[in-house]
Amino acid sequence: MKELLSPGWGWYVAILTLVSLAVCLWVLRANSVKKEHGGDPKLHGHNEWDGLREYDNPLPRWWSNLFYITVFFSLGYLILYPGLIVFPGLLNWSTDSLYKDEVKQAKAEFDPIFDAYAKQDVKTVAADKGALQIGGRLFQTYCVQCHGTDMRGSKGFPNLVDGDWLYPGTPEGIKQTIMEGRNGAMPPFGAAFKPEQITDVAQYVLSLSGRSTAADAAKRGEETFKTTCAACHGPEGKGNQALGAPNLTDNVWLYGGSLATVTETIAKGRQGQMPAHKDLLGEPRVHLLAAYVYAQSQEQAAAPKK
């Protein structure tokens, strides 16, 4: 609350509140004592109407006492809690500290569980049902926005359960991917190559998965591929997991396998980024996530294809 208001507003609220309370007290007090009038002390001099006379009695005690209690209650509240904005209250209570306490409690409760799993290797954890449940929940919180709730990814975001890996799909490889992040760096060739040269090499790329639509062009493209692309994608186009260079022969595409998309990839390059998670999540949680991804990929890659 304090962060949302400028200091001027804080003082405005504090002064208005305290002045209102003081006025309440004054009105109560003024109406709780007998006043001296000329004439009959019990009567207002003037108020008689139609046989009714207004007596000048103090307010009933029980009523004014209740009112005093409410005023002192609010004063006590404002001393203990941050109601006046400019004063944090003796208890130092805030929604912020409440939240931090909850986080602390949750850490105390869950950290030992995570730490126990972190001591086992990823493959062992991947066989533990309880660990996979926690890993699944972590995945649904931190990873689905890019890899999808079904882990099947989308254009530019790899499918994690198709058994096809850009980077090593071993338990350690997956853990490293999540810990440190990965940067795919496919350089753009639009400036270095003539447009025909790009189309030719794109046709050659399609031919690697048996889908070329122009055999001559593919043949011409082979030369360029061997001299320029093979350095990263390998002489046979089977990729290189150390660089994250995809296998171009398996007809599994990160960005798309149409002639137009492959041409675009070659001309403009691609820079897929998997963010590092070690600072955000800490190693024990990443360990569980790696086990979860590994287990899911094993299970789904083994399942018969639909």
CB 225, min distance to ligand HEC, A? 6
Using alpha carbons only, give the angle 259, 189, 221 rounded to the nearest 5 degrees.
Answer: 55
State in angstroms the smallest separation of the CB of 107 from ligand HEC. Answer: 19
| Nearest distance from C-beta of residue 177 to ligand HEC, angstroms | 4
Nearer to ligand HEC, 254 or 295 (CB): 254
Q: Which two tokens stand for residue 7?
A: 């200091």
**CA pair distance 287, 171, nearest whole angstrom:** 9
Minimum gap (Å) between residue 66 Cβ and ligand HEC: 58
Residues 6+ apart with CB under 8 A from 181: 273, 274, 275, 276, 277
Tell me whether residue 117 or residue 167 sits nearer to ligand HEC (CB atom). Answer: 167
Distance CA 208, CA 42 (A): 110
Nearer to ligand HEC among residue 105 and residue 251 (C-beta): 251
**Beta-carbon neighbour count of residue 265 at 10 Å?**
22
Residues that bind ligand HEC (CB under 6 A): 139, 142-143, 145-147, 156-158, 160, 165-167, 174, 177-178, 182, 184-187, 189, 201, 205, 228-229, 231-233, 243-246, 248, 253-255, 262, 265-266, 270-275, 277, 289, 293
Please provide residue 268's backbone torsions phi and psi, each rounded to the nearest 5 degrees. -100, -15
In angstroms, give the least distance from the CB of 288 to ligand HEC. Answer: 10
Is 186 buried (19+), middle (13-18) or exposed (0-12) by CB count in 10 A? buried
Apex 272 CA angle, 222 and 192, nearest 5: 40
Which is closer to ligand HEC, CB of 182 or CB of 287?
182
Nearer to ligand HEC, 41 or 256 (CB): 256
Distance CA 148, CA 153 (A): 5
End-to-end distance of the chain based on CA atoms, in angstroms?
54
Taking the complex as a whole, how short is the minimal distance between the CB of residue 242 and ligand HEC, in angstroms? 10
Q: Which is nearer to ligand HEC, 85 or 225 (CB)?
A: 225
Residue 85 or 229 with smaller CB distance to ligand HEC: 229
269 residue type, one letter: G
Q: How many CB atoms lie within 10 A of CB 34?
A: 10
- What is the C-alpha separation between 8 and 5, in angstroms, rounded? 8
**Shortest distance in whole angstroms from residue 149 CB to ligand HEC:** 12
Q: For ligand HEC, give the closer residue by CB, 37 or 226.
A: 226
C-alpha of 78 from chain center: 35
* Smallest gap from residue 239 Cβ to ligand HEC (A): 8
Six token digits for residue 62: 């029980």
